[in-house]
Amino acid sequence: MKKNNTLISKKQLLKENIEDFGDAHIGTSFDTPLKKDAFVLSDDEKVEKIQTHFREIMDILGLDLTDDSLKGTPYRVAKMYVKEIFSGLHPNNKPRVAMFENKYNYTQMLVEKDINVQSTCEHHFLPIYGKAHVAYISNGNVIGLSKINRIVEYYCKRPQVQERLTIQIANELKKALDTEDVAVYIDAQHMCVQARGVKDVGSSTITSEYCGQFANNENLRKEFLTAIHARI
């Protein structure tokens, strides 16, 4: 009896630790944690496997999978996971970024604001949604404006924590533009806060990453913040 009670206590402690870790909104790495064999299976093979497992989840929940409204749900969820909301996990889906010479010698910061953020919390697999604001100062090259949006979208399409998402976008822009002078600011709401746990529908989470001149020049940082918060 004592052994069983000890086992129950350990399981309860593990459950509490898992809950606390998820609610603490902690990430473990700047890179998205992936297995070494993450891309051995094709997308279609992943869809087939996820479909099978999700059907089992629905069955355990007690849902009638013969119902016309539900019988296609396992496939729809699996396809959505692999080919839509988590498609940013696969490096083949990384956007190609074309660079152009800064022939007009524009030396001030360029700001792309109000970029749509639609991601998924990796702790509860619930939506994260909000806006990203990005700025950079050219180091001789410029990037097509739509490619900034594509970079944000690519890193959003994977299980995320907002801190990691912010850093990944900044690192990708620094690499593409060959400059340290990059700023990223994200203001987002988390359904894992709104729909469960504390159920706070009024709060949002702000994260930022300032690099190069944006980290070292307070006036430049203020100019960026003023620009993204301005409403015309």
Grouping H, G, I as helix, E, B as strand and the rest as coil, residue 94 is coil
Q: Which contacts of 144-147 are long-range, i.e. CB under 8 A and separated by 24 or more positions? A: 144/97, 144/98, 144/100, 145/112, 147/95, 147/97, 147/98, 147/176
- The answer to whether residue 25 is catalytic is no
Amino acid at 47: V
How many residues are present in the chain? 232
Catalytic pick among 124, 180, 189, 223: 124
Contacting residues for 55 by C-beta, under 8 A, at least 6 apart: 65, 74
- The answer to whether residue 160 is catalytic is no
Catalytic pick among 51, 121, 153, 213: 121
Distance CA 16, CA 18 (A): 5
- The answer to whether residue 12 is catalytic is no
- The answer to whether residue 124 is catalytic is yes
Catalytic pick among 112, 192, 209, 211: 192
Strands (E), the chain: 99-101, 109-121, 127-137, 141-143, 159-160, 182-190, 205-210
- The answer to whether residue 123 is catalytic is yes
Q: CA angle, corner 209, sides to 142 and 95, nearest 5?
A: 45
Catalytic pick among 51, 162, 168, 213: 162
Catalytic pick among 112, 153, 172, 190: 190
- The answer to whether residue 53 is catalytic is no
Catalytic pick among 90, 112, 122, 172: 122
- The answer to whether residue 211 is catalytic is no
Catalytic pick among 112, 123, 156, 168: 123
DSSP string, 193-216: HHSSTT--SS--EEEEEE-THHHH
Distance CA 117, CA 153 (A): 7
| Residues recognised as catalytic | 121-124, 162, 190, 192
